[in-house]
């Protein structure tokens, strides 16, 4: 008997075994019915059986083996995704979801091989087709489940960040009011100043979290473009950085026509992140160089520092969120959230303007280069051509 025929004939016992296994994985706080635990097992198994019976050409066999075309078995894909969505709602963990597919595969193979008197070559073909169908179902199920976990996490972070803004605003305003009053003694003034500094740092964390969650959902950062001069924006950020870190040395060079239409606040955030990163990681005795250049329809900003080079492998993930180690308290720059989101948000700001950002690092220097069009393109075109990696020079 073929494995597809066996699945159809033994569908009831196989589903019963699936249910009993799922029951051992049920979250303690739930008491699901048999129908809830069986979920999509019956239709998934029938879809797998139908897929095995479908004739395949050489290219189809190759694509199936490589997992290149999930739509070559649309019912298997759909049922697997539906099952993942249901298990997510039911509170099953990712490990539990994967273990269900592992147990189902073992159950079918064990039952089918028991009734085989003598193995034939076509049995191996059957087993291969079953394994490929199960792999496809597991892959699609796992992919959807992890996306749901990511979306839920990002939504939680977004809601948390949004709701924290109001109480943080009250703390900030209250500390500022106390510092402006003349009723505090020395110790009380220091305490109020620490409250204000902590509130500023928490506000930076909230802002980074909100930016991260927005872009994590695939939404480009919103912009309010207005006429601006990149040279003047850079000059403002250089002055702010020198005020926050008086011991740092920053040299600003401008060249060409630097006017355009950008979101000044976002560009300031981008420049501040790049400059603060260079000040933090560069040699303390060497100046940081900021060079702003106008060239045709684009304006470029280079931020360069001397210091230890960024390893090649680290450059590949430099602009990815939450990949950098959180900054230690003693090393955190003023105004930084310390969450390791700065370069990620910097890249997203460049991308939102239709631009790109890249890094080049060697033993002599590290250079971050942001290149922006003078006018941001329409929203739907902003991610075209955006650079997401680094290069060694």
pLDDT digit string, tens, across residues 298-347: 999 999 999 888 888 888 778 877 555 444 444 444 444 445 677 888 88
Instruction: Calculate what percentage of the chain has a pLDDT beyond 90.
Output: 18
- State how far the Cα of 173 lies from the Cα of 117, in Å rounded to an integer: 81
Structural domains of the chain in order of their starting residue, each with its CATH number: 1-218 (1.10.490.70), 226-381 (3.30.565.10)
At 181-194, the pLDDT tens digits run: 888 888 888 888 88
Name the token pair of 306.
């001397």
- State how far the Cα of 344 lies from the Cα of 321, in Å rounded to an integer: 5
What mean pLDDT is predicted for residues 258-270? 91
Task: Categorize the per-residue pLDDT at 54 as very low, low, confident or very high, splitting at 50, 70 and 90.
Answer: confident
- State how far the Cα of 383 lies from the Cα of 351, in Å rounded to an integer: 6
The pLDDT of residue 103 is 86
Q: What is the 3-state secondary structure (H, E, C) of the chain?
A: CCHHHHHHHCHHHHHHHHHHHHHCCCCCCCCCCHHHHHCCHHHHHHHHHHHHHCCCCHHHHHHHHHCCCHHHCHHHHHHHHHHHHHHHHHCCCHHHHHHHHHHHHHHHHHHHHHCCCCCCHHHHHHHHHHHHHHHHHHHHHHHHHHHHHHHHHHHHHHHHHHHHHHHHHHHHHHHHHHHHCCCCCHHHHHHHHHHHHHHHHHHHHHHHHHHHHHHHCCCCCCCCCEEEEHHHHHHHHHHHHHHHCCCCCEEEEEECCCEEEECHHHHHHHHHHHHHHHHHHCCCCCCEEEEEEEECCEEEEEEEECCCCCCHHHHCCCCCCCCCCCCCHHHCCCCCCCCCCHHHHHHHHHHHCCCEEEEEECCCCEEEEEEEECCCCCHHHCCCCCCCCCECC
Angle between helix 74-90 and helix 121-180 axes, rounded to 10 deg: 40
- State how far the Cα of 138 lies from the Cα of 22, in Å rounded to an integer: 15
Say which residue the tokens 């020395």 belong to.
Answer: 186
pLDDT of residue 353 exceeding 80:
yes
What mean pLDDT is predicted for residues 194-199? 82
Calculate the CA dihedral of residues 43, 46, 51, 54 and round it to 10 degrees: -130
pLDDT of residue 94 exceeding 80:
yes
* Cβ pair 340, 320 in contact under 8 A: no
Task: Categorize the per-residue pLDDT at 250 as very low, low, confident or very high, splitting at 50, 70 and 90.
Answer: very high
At 278-310, the pLDDT tens digits run: 998 888 889 999 999 999 899 999 999 998 888
Which has the higher per-residue pLDDT, 208 or 262?
262
**Residue 331 CB burial class (10 angstroms; 0-12, 13-18, ≥19):** exposed
- State how far the Cα of 302 lies from the Cα of 289, in Å rounded to an integer: 8
- State how far the Cα of 170 lies from the Cα of 32, in Å rounded to an integer: 46
The mean of the pLDDT values for the chain is: 81
- State how far the Cα of 87 lies from the Cα of 39, in Å rounded to an integer: 8
């Amino acid at each position: 008997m073929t494995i597809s025929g066996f699945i159809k004939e033994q569908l009831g016992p196989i589903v019963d075994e699936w249910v009993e296994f799922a029951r051992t994985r049920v979250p303690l706080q739930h008491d699901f019915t048999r129908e809830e635990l069986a979920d999509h097992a019956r239709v998934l198994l029938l879809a797998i059986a139908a897929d095995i019976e479908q004739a395949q050409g050489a290219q189809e066999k190759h694509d199936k083996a490589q997992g290149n075309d999930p739509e070559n078995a649309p019912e298997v894909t759909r049922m697997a995704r539906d099952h993942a969505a249901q298990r997510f709602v039911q509170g099953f963990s990712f490990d539990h979801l994967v273990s269900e597919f592992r147990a189902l595969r073992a159950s079918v193979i064990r039952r089918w091989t028991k009734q085989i008197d003598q193995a034939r070559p076509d049995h191996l073909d059957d087993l291969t087709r079953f394994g490929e169908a199960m792999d496809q179902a597991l892959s699609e199920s796992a992919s959807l489940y992890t996306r749901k976990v990511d979306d839920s996490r990002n939504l939680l972070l977004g809601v948390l960040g949004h709701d924290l803004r109001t109480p943080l605003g009250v703390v900030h305003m209250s500390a500022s009011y106390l510092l402006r009053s003349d009723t505090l003694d020395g110790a009380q003034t220091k305490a109020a100043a620490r409250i204000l500094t902590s509130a500023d740092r928490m506000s930076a964390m909230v802002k980074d979290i909100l930016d991260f969650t927005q872009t994590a959902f695939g939404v480009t950062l919103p912009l309010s473009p207005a006429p601006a001069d990149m040279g003047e924006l850079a000059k403002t950020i250089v002055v702010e950085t020198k005020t926050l870190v008086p011991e740092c040395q920053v040299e600003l060079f401008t060249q060409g026509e630097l006017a355009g239409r950008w979101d000044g606040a976002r560009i300031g955030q981008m420049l501040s992140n790049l400059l603060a990163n260079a000040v933090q990681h560069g040699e303390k005795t060497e100046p940081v160089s900021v060079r702003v250049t106008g060239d045709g329809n684009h304006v470029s900003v280079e931020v360069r520092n001397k210091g230890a080079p960024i390893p090649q492998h680290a450059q590949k993930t430099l602009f990815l969120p939450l990949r950098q180690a959180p900054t230690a308290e003693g090393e955190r720059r003023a105004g930084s959230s310390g969450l390791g989101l700065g370069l990620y948000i910097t890249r997203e700001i460049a991308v939102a303007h239709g631009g790109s950002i890249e890094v080049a690092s060697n033993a002599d220097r590290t250079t971050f280069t942001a290149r922006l069009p003078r006018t941001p393109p329409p929203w739907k075109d902003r991610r075209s051509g955006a650079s997401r990696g680094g290069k060694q020079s």
